[in-house]
Structure 1
Amino acid sequence: MTKWTVITGGTAGIGRAVAERFLKEGLPVAVLARRVERLDDLVDAFGPGLIRVERADVRDGESVATAVEALLQDGGEIAALVNNAGLSLGLGALHDGAVEDWGTMIDTNVSGVLHGIRAVLPAMRRTGAGHIINLGSLAAEYPFFGGNVYAATKAFVHHLSANLRVDVQGTGIRVTCIAPGMVRSEFALVRFKGDQDRADALYDGIRPLAPEDVADTVLWAHRTPAHVNVNYVELMSIDQPFGLSLTRPAPAQRKETP
């Protein structure tokens, strides 16, 4: 019987890094994604016995439930859910925000997380085991200009994780929330709506986390003993000393940095 780790948003960034990290450890992975063709290389590398790709949009609860049910119908179990799919849109103050951007963030970052949990929880309760790992954000804890709705959606994830932990007490199910700081990924490109120069400028002069850094943390939390629940992890780059403040070297220092 295959025990799957279900990953949402696994075609790029943190989600893909988590998939690769788990696969390299021999842990079966089922990626739920809209752009399934972006995972062809992983399927070729690891084989269909270790990775499955199911087409689903986290904003559509029925498609998520159908994808999870397909795993169960084939005799699998759900070992873990990595609720990774999320995005940030909009750069300015709330009063300048686009309502459609708010809706997209809420549908993905809030409803998408709920849809994933709702789809896997019954199966986990039947087996008396499982691990739900929700990707939060430092933005949920520290305000910054332009964060508004995105930060609020991630605050939802943080509080949902804590309350879900209480809901599943006594079932053998673990719940973890991991809150990364700045990570170099497609996330910034999406936020800046395809403006590569602006996305690159965000990382100018600093060393952000890599998706693999977050993936290592996800794997560590998952591999703690079954009686250990890692409630919350906050991680950030050494150049992000507190909250959303950043330490950028002076221009002269940058030139000396290899």
Structure 2
Amino acid sequence: MFSNLWNKGGFILCTKGQAELSINGVRHNFSQGEVLVITPLVLVGEVSVSEEFAALSFVDDLKTYYDIFNRIADSPIPLMVYREPIWEIEVNEQQYLAKQHAHLEQLTHSMAESASETSRSLLDFQVRLLRQEAMLTVVNSRIRQVVWLPSSHSREVVVYRFILALHNNYHTHRSVAYYADMANLSKSHFSAIVKQTTGQSPSAWIATITTTYAKFMLEKGSMNIKQIAEQLNFPEQFTFRKYFKQHTGLSPKAYREQYVHK
């Protein structure tokens, strides 16, 4: 449940037990009645999970929640999620989300069983709307508790917009200058803001996100390495191989073989 959250958005509601997670390099306890909010700024790794752990996932492709993330970009919410990605919610909200999740499962089952392409398309659209509604419920509940941040908050807006844009453009734009231009900042000033706010340089973020998506493609095994290089817009397979090895320590072929033999 906590793996493969790149290019994802939404949240996970813990309904039973607890988990210990590494989130943005910091350990957090995740317990019953809490939601883990997934945004482009939240990097999750599983540390340990209790045997009785159970949860409801409202996680979907980033594009499902992109409008919501974009709308809150200039608010304190993205930074608040970055610093406090786990929120406690009221019992009535937990009950509402449980009903929404049950409805989503019914719709997903109907979509799988439908023989009509039009029907599947409409059901898929309905599923996305329900996920968005659930996400808005969680965010609106939390935003009422927010104390607006001082003017220094503008730095976090720059970082959030950078990482949101990076998830959409990692396969076409891997230049720090490109994202600095988007932010209307000099490359040096932009780099300093990202480094000070997240602890990682823009180039490190770009390399991490690019290689993570490359890993997913290598793990799926549906494309050969040349096709993956083309998908990521590297000029040739050799350039992709050099880039991947530089940032992971393994060649794409070695990574795929290692993954297969796990």
TM-score w.r.t. length of structure 2: 0.28
Q: Select the structure with the greater relative contact order (CA < 8 A; seq sep ≥ 6).
A: 1
Larger CA Rg, structure 1 vs 2: 2
TM-score w.r.t. length of structure 1: 0.29
